[in-house]
Structure 1
Amino acid sequence: MKNYLNILDIPDEILFLIFQRLNAVEVFTSLEDVNQRFHRLAFDPLLIRDLNMTTITNINSFYDQNFSIDSNVLSRICKNILPQIHSQVHKLTVEQDSMKEILHAGTYPQLYSLSLINFEEEIIYQYLTDDLVLRDLLTKQITHLNIDMKMPEGSDSETISKIFQLILSLCKNLISLNFCDMYPTRSCFNHLHYLFQESYMPSSLNKLKINLPVLTYCLYLLDGPLVSLSTLIINVSSIFHPEMLEPIDPTKKLPNLKYFSFTSFGYTFEYDNLIVPLLCRMINLEELQLYLSVGRFYPSLIDGNQLYDQFLIYMTQLRKFTFNIKTWVTFDTITNEIPTSEDIQRTFIGRIDEPVAAYVYMKSYPRPRDCVCHVYTLPYDFEYFTDLNNSFQGGMFEKVRRLKMWDTNPFEYKLFKIISQDFPFLEFLYIANDCSQEENQHSSTTITFPNLTLLDLKYAHVDYAKLFLFKQNMSLPRLINLTIKYKSLVTITDNFTKSATLFNFDKLKSLDVCEQFVGSKTFHDYFPLL
């Protein structure tokens, strides 16, 4: 006779851990009235302390998620539950459609952290302007604020700037601000340069996480308005040397800055002119994180000796330095021998405390004498890995959630097998390769990407669509978002005549075919959830 585990037999400690994995709406609606024991656990002060009042009701894609709560459920929670527990809430997460009712259901005297999720810019601006309860909380209590906005194409940067201004002027006690950098799929690059005046900046603010379109805005921030910051986490879209609106002192020290994280995915040729001088100003830095791609027209690969001589020598308080740095150099006029991966790796000995991986490889495109040097600390400390190619050396990348692959030589089955093992928690995969695979006969062993939710094959040869989208080749149990050329889709399905059960389309909730098309009669049979 089989023994089945009854949930009522699970110890309180295990149930509590389960409840912690649920949001408050799920707990209140599912467990409140089960029995007295469940009621006690559901209203445990440790659970209520951090109250997440959002619930994802619809996922069209990673770029289009609906967090709204059913109106009847919301009304019952606000009427019967929140008035009992509001005084125990320290951290609160809300979305735009339910925020007003939730905030008006209690006074939240201990609330210090507020997260506003999935807001449209005009709506959040209206709340910040007109909602007296929200304004009062921001003015008197909130020290930690997280903002997430839906950013459709054509977003009004002026409105975003006004929102930023309102937040900084209202939040007199603000210590930490995450402005539009909460989710990797919704990175809003904020044009805020004309607001960088000291009158807008609360003196208490010491931590800022933000995305900016150009490095110039970061320089303005640090030149005066946010000179007292101790932690700055910044993602910059472009690094170039535009004309400055006002002169910025490139030698002004930043003695208060203790933690600096800087990410820029695009290649820049201004590393020596802009990045290095900025880092040299951070004389009391204790932790530094860099994600950079550097282009050079002269024969010099960034290695351990360069990093030390350029800025590490000035950071006498530095305790931790993690990085992912690529140097792309044109060697057309070079007669000297190109350094090997081992040569580069040796330059870090005695310079960097953390273990460092390094590999040097030649690129055949766009120029046959281009050389790339890729160096990064171990264990790899970033959620993204870009421009992975056939020179990939392997390793374990447990933190990586987003991977971009690009090469002018074909990616073969063996490489994807390695990637599935080395990137076990990968969620987003982008493949750019228009070369057909040379090994068309794939192994009988199915490759599994257990956590992959987004696959982008827009710039991929049809062979990669065949490899990833046939179930006999790949297991993609969580794939819900697919970008693919319509022509590739027609090819692999034989114009939608093959059995739909052969493909990894079962759970797709978003399909981008990159063009207008008229689908066949059987098209929608392949995508039941669209």
Structure 2
Amino acid sequence: MKINMEHSSVELNDLPDEILMIILKKLCNVEVLYSLKGVNKRLNAVAHDSIFTNRLTLMRRVSDHCTNPLPDAILDRFCLQILPEIHHKIKWLNLESSSMERILHATNYPNLYGLGLYELHIRLMSFSGCLYILDGRFNKLHTLHVDVTNIFPSDFPNNNQEKLSIPNIRCFSLYCQDIINVYDELIVPYLQRMSNLEKLTLNLATFVKNTFVDGNELNQNIVSYMPRLRIFEFYICSNHYRPKQIYLPSKEYIQHTFRDFKNDQVSSYIDYFQEKQFSLCHIYSYPYNLKYYYTITNNFPGGLFKYVQEVSLYDERSFEHEFFLRIQKSFPFIKIVSIKNSKPQNNKLCRESKNDNQDFSIIKYPYLINLTLYNAHDDYIEEFLVDTNICLPDNSVHINIDYEQLERVTHNFTRDSTRINCAKLDSLCLNGHRLPEYAKDYFPHV
């Protein structure tokens, strides 16, 4: 039998359902919905199958660390036509920050139980962004991760706080980059409404008025409100000013308040600063799975913190070279470091020559990408720029530094021992100044 294929053609609509589904499963769900919606009754019904509507990723992944919104034309059609028609079938949405509000306002999602927030998960400018999610429309949502720059009282207006739909949340994590001053007034009442929580993660630094956050406080004001809580990961750094005016507990007392905590080991220590008249109390569960560690001093007890990406270093006592070696060993994957210390080093061991026989360890920070030195003594700038002290990674580090300090430490951009690390820098922020033309060869990649 001979078949003449010269004028034959097969359209998508001609294929049997089984073959059609095999083909469409090779495509992403968003492409299927956008391409078949409204073509004809049969293809429209296929596109509305739960295989293509249960889980939608309404964004484009550029890389593991970068996402883009859908093109405006595609986003318009989804928000105006497709989402309102299939809203009751959607169980999971993956969104990115710039289009999140529009998608969530497009319709109700009565059966949504999962929400992946990309970029929003990485950084929010304020906590108010999550109020869009917890306004009652996603009553099956059980997991929410929030990472914010700061939290302000305006993030919790009275008329919105009562509308938050929190009881069904099972897993919640809150990371905050900067110090907050609303822990008692806003954070604690917010958490107390999560009565069915099974896993809680808190990564916070907070000002306190009376005394430090300790195990008793966590038990009484948070854990006791969560009878189903199984996992509690936390690092809370309490900041208290004018400690001489009231009694502050000892490290031993703080540690004793965690006597009833089960499963995880809890570590704590206290820093007192006489010049600034303030104190810090660090409490954290261990093993440590969080990414921020706040205000590390010479009292830092050490340990392994392999998930931490960002640290701040502060003290009224000098940081010696061995301190930076301890930091590297405790935080092997550190990316962002800021240093505040005006005290010069006591045991300055900077070597100008690699032929020096002195027993001295060169420290490597292979993942460092951002270093802030605005409030650091010249000795710590020298610590990081002299190549026989610290080895910086090639062409990846951005440094925030005062121009005058950079000029002094590099001997007006002529010092050989700082030339190698300066040549590795990717960018500089000089507090409003610009590099002079004669110094640009000293920073060939900036």
TM-score tier after normalising by the smaller chain length: 0.7 to 0.9
Task: Write the deviation string for residues 238-291 of structure 1: whole angstroms up to 9, x where unpaired.
Answer: 4444483626339x8833110111122433343222222222211111000112
Contact kept, 8 Å, 2:318 with 2:345, in 1: the verdict is: yes
Which of 191, 205, 217 pairs up with 1:293? Answer: 205
Q: Which residue of 1 aligns with 2:274?
A: 364
1:280 aligns with 2:280: no
Contact kept, 8 Å, 1:328 with 1:371, in 2: the verdict is: yes
Task: Write the deviation string for residues 280-339 of structure 1: whole angstroms up to 9, x where unpaired.
Answer: 2111110001122232222x22211221111212211111000001222343333x5x43
Task: Write the deviation string for residues 474-521 of structure 1: whole angstroms up to 9, x where unpaired.
Answer: 112244322222212212221122348743133322222222335142
> Are the structure 2 counterparts of residues 138 and 358 from structure 1 closer, same or farther at C-alpha, using a change threshold of 3 Å?
farther
1:480 aligns with 2:390: no
Counterpart residue identity of residue 475, structure 1: C
1:437 aligns with 2:345: yes
Distance in 2 (CA, whole Å) between partners of 1:271 and 1:182 is 21
Counterpart residue identity of residue 441, structure 1: L
Task: Write the deviation string for residues 378-433 of structure 1: whole angstroms up to 9, x where unpaired.
Answer: 01111121211222111111111111212233222111010111111112212122
Q: Tell me the CA shift for residue 355 of structure 1.
A: 0.5
Which of 162, 166, 169 pairs up with 1:257? Answer: 169
Counterpart residue identity of residue 290, structure 2: F
Contact kept, 8 Å, 2:339 with 2:376, in 1: the verdict is: yes
1:374 aligns with 2:282: yes
Q: Tell me the CA shift for residue 131 of structure 1.
A: 6.9
Q: Tell me the CA shift for residue 366 of structure 1.
A: 2.6
Q: Tell me the CA shift for residue 463 of structure 1.
A: 1.4
Contact kept, 8 Å, 1:472 with 1:502, in 2: the verdict is: no
Q: Tell me the CA shift for residue 527 of structure 1.
A: 2.1
Distance in 1 (CA, whole Å) between partners of 2:305 and 2:236 is 16
Task: Write the deviation string for residues 136-170 of structure 1: whole angstroms up to 9, x where unpaired.
Answer: 6998689442426xxxxxxxxxxx4x752235527
Distance in 2 (CA, whole Å) between partners of 1:325 and 1:372 is 10
Q: Which residue of 1 aligns with 2:60?
A: 116
Counterpart residue identity of residue 194, structure 2: M
SS of match in other structure, 2:311: strand
Distance in 2 (CA, whole Å) between partners of 1:115 and 1:312 is 37
SS of match in other structure, 2:414: coil
> Are the structure 2 counterparts of residues 245 and 312 from structure 1 closer, same or farther at C-alpha, using a change threshold of 3 Å?
closer
> Are the structure 2 counterparts of residues 167 and 458 from structure 1 closer, same or farther at C-alpha, using a change threshold of 3 Å?
same
Aligned residue pair count: 389
Q: Which residue of 1 aligns with 2:115?
A: 176
Q: Tell me the CA shift for residue 352 of structure 1.
A: 3.8
TM-score (norm 1): 0.64
Task: Write the deviation string for residues 456-485 of structure 1: whole angstroms up to 9, x where unpaired.
Answer: 223322211111111111112244322222
Q: Which residue of 1 aligns with 2:72?
A: 126
Which of 211, 227, 235 pairs up with 1:316? Answer: 227
Q: Which runs of no fewer than 5 residues in structure 2 stay unpaired?
A: 1-22, 35-45, 351-358
1:147 aligns with 2:147: no
Counterpart residue identity of residue 458, structure 1: Y
> Are the structure 2 counterparts of residues 397 and 225 from structure 1 closer, same or farther at C-alpha, using a change threshold of 3 Å?
same
Which of 206, 212, 215 pairs up with 1:304? Answer: 215
Which of 282, 307, 317 pairs up with 1:409? Answer: 317
Contact kept, 8 Å, 1:139 with 1:170, in 2: the verdict is: no
Which of 26, 29, 33 pairs up with 1:88? Answer: 26
Distance in 1 (CA, whole Å) between partners of 2:117 and 2:220 is 33
Contact kept, 8 Å, 2:328 with 2:365, in 1: the verdict is: yes
Please show how residues 29-428 of structure 1 align to structure 2 within 5 Å.
88=26, 112-113=56-57, 115-117=59-61, 126-129=72-75, 143-147=92-96, 160=98, 164-166=101-103, 168-169=105-106, 175-181=114-120, 183=122, 187-189=123-125, 213-214=126-127, 218=130, 221-242=133-154, 244=157, 246=159, 248-249=161-162, 254-298=166-210, 300-329=211-240, 330-334=242-246, 336=247, 338-367=248-277, 370-428=278-336
RMSD over aligned CA atoms reads: 3.9
Distance in 1 (CA, whole Å) between partners of 2:69 and 2:174 is 30
Distance in 1 (CA, whole Å) between partners of 2:130 and 2:121 is 19
TM-score (norm 2): 0.74
Q: Which runs of no fewer than 5 residues in structure 1 stay unpaired?
A: 1-84, 93-99, 101-106, 149-159, 190-212
SS of match in other structure, 1:273: helix
Distance in 1 (CA, whole Å) between partners of 2:162 and 2:83 is 37
Q: Tell me the CA shift for residue 440 of structure 1.
A: 1.7
> Are the structure 2 counterparts of residues 515 and 391 from structure 1 closer, same or farther at C-alpha, using a change threshold of 3 Å?
same
Q: Which residue of 2 aligns with 1:197?
A: none
SS of match in other structure, 2:159: coil
Task: Write the deviation string for residues 8-48 of structure 1: whole angstroms up to 9, x where unpaired.
Answer: xxxxxxxxxxxxxxxxxxxxxxxxxxxxxxxxxxxxxxxxx
Q: Tell me the CA shift for residue 218 of structure 1.
A: 4.6
Counterpart residue identity of residue 425, structure 2: L
> Are the structure 2 counterparts of residues 453 and 321 from structure 1 closer, same or farther at C-alpha, using a change threshold of 3 Å?
same
Please tell me whether Structure 1 or Structure 2 has the larger radius of gyration of its CA atoms. Answer: 2
Task: Write the deviation string for residues 167-219 of structure 1: whole angstroms up to 9, x where unpaired.
Answer: 55279686423153355xxx342xxxxxxxxxxxxxxxxxxxxxxx14x6656
SS of match in other structure, 1:503: helix
Distance in 2 (CA, whole Å) between partners of 1:356 and 1:127 is 52
Contact kept, 8 Å, 1:253 with 1:283, in 2: the verdict is: no
Counterpart residue identity of residue 327, structure 2: I
